[in-house]
Amino acid sequence: MLNTVETVILILLTVALVIAGPLMIAEGVVDIASSVASKAWNDWTGFVDWLYNAIDSVIFGKGGRNG
């Protein structure tokens, strides 16, 4: 009887690990991808701001709209 209970518990733990393991890995991958995408977006918006300011200073001169 004790062996049966231990076997059932072992099977349940194995199933839980088989299900939870890939989910934990996927969560880590999503976190990494999210931070990379966020950095890329921030870099892109920084570049667009710089480009806008450069064009603004060429059109309006040094004392243009943004200072």
In the chain, % of residues over pLDDT 90: 67
pLDDT digits (tens, 9 = 90+) for 11-37: 999 999 999 989 999 999 999 999 999
User: Would you say residue 45 has pLDDT above 90?
Assistant: yes
Q: With contact defined as beta carbons under 8 Å apart, do 52 and 65 qualify? A: no
**Scanning the structure block, which residue is given the tokens 């209970």?**
5
Among 19, 40, 37, residue whose Cα is nearest residue 29: 37
* Extents of the domains making up the chain: 34-60
